[in-house]
Amino acid sequence: MTTQSDFPAPAVSAGGTDGVIHNIGYRGYQGQRLGRGYATRSLFVQGLRGAFGLGRSAKSKVLPMLVLAGATLPAGLLVAMALARKATEYGTDYPQYLSGIGLLFFEIFVAAQAPVLLSRDLRYSTVPLYFSRPITRGDYVRAKGAAMVAAMLVVTVLPLLVLYVGALLGGMDFAHNTEHFAIGLLAALLYSLLFSAIGLVIAATTPRRGFGVAAIMGVLVITEAVASVLGHLTGDPQADSTQWAYVIGPSSLVERFVNRICGLSTDFPTTPGAAGAVVFGVEILVLVAGAYALLLRRYRKI
């Protein structure tokens, strides 16, 4: 503990009427300086925690935890039913679980939490961390983008993990489940990248969280609805023209691309041939890279 006796007495002039200089004990920092990289990682961790309401009020935890439970509980029910019936396989495949049961929860999560990562910072022109070394705008975008993708991966991978562990406990075919679990992980990664990119670039346009939530949900739901309507208007669900209609839907892009490149095309919706797989894959890449570029451009103007 520092005591008053550790510091020299204040200097007083001979006449006693001049000002005095007080030593109030300020000391230079002698610890390790961790630099921008550590600051960026700290911002990433803070963003990831914030996406699930950790470190915030109890009210902030309700929606993300409900979404996480809603996406995972059906997987637990599937496992329980399979174990009770001693089934040799599930009624659904790993990537199809994501595109079916889990899709709505993923859309809700990214629509609700992407504005959490950006809107308050935009509204108040500040971040909830104090940095001893300044970070660049690019560092900020990378940290927030990585935090959103990591949060989405938690939501998308956890139900797959429940299904996989349940399959192993139930004595289901190890090779088959491991292969399809890996396909599910690929789908989860693509969903996380694409949805996070779309969500963040929309959230960055407004400091109002409510507007951001509505806009993100609208884009994800409306584009998918339009793709479905266009697909049904062709009449033949197996025609290539029908499959091309789904190029405008983010979730359809991922589902059909994964089904094609992983050899699931005979049983599930897929791209219109190998050329379609290339187009769908390039579109996913362009959307993710384009969203990142737009975010960088947006934050250069702030």
The CA angle 19-22-26, to the nearest 5 degrees, is 145
258 phi-psi bin (left φ>0, alpha ψ -120 to 50, beta other):
alpha
pLDDT of residue 122: 86
* Neighbouring-strand partners of residue 11: 21
pLDDT of residue 235: 62
Q: Rounded to an integer, what distance in angstroms lies between the CA atom of residue 194 and that of residue 291?
A: 9
Q: Among positive and negative, which fits the CA dihedral 90, 91, 96, 100?
A: negative
Cβ(270)–Cβ(260) below 8 Å: yes
pLDDT of residue 4: 47
pLDDT of residue 25: 75
Q: Rounded to an integer, what distance in angstroms lies between the CA atom of residue 296 and that of residue 140?
A: 9
pLDDT of residue 17: 55
Q: Which two tokens stand for residue 163?
A: 């299904």
pLDDT along the chain (302 residues), means of 10: 50 57 73 81 93 88 93 94 90 89 89 92 82 84 96 96 94 92 95 96 91 93 88 69 84 90 79 88 95 92 77
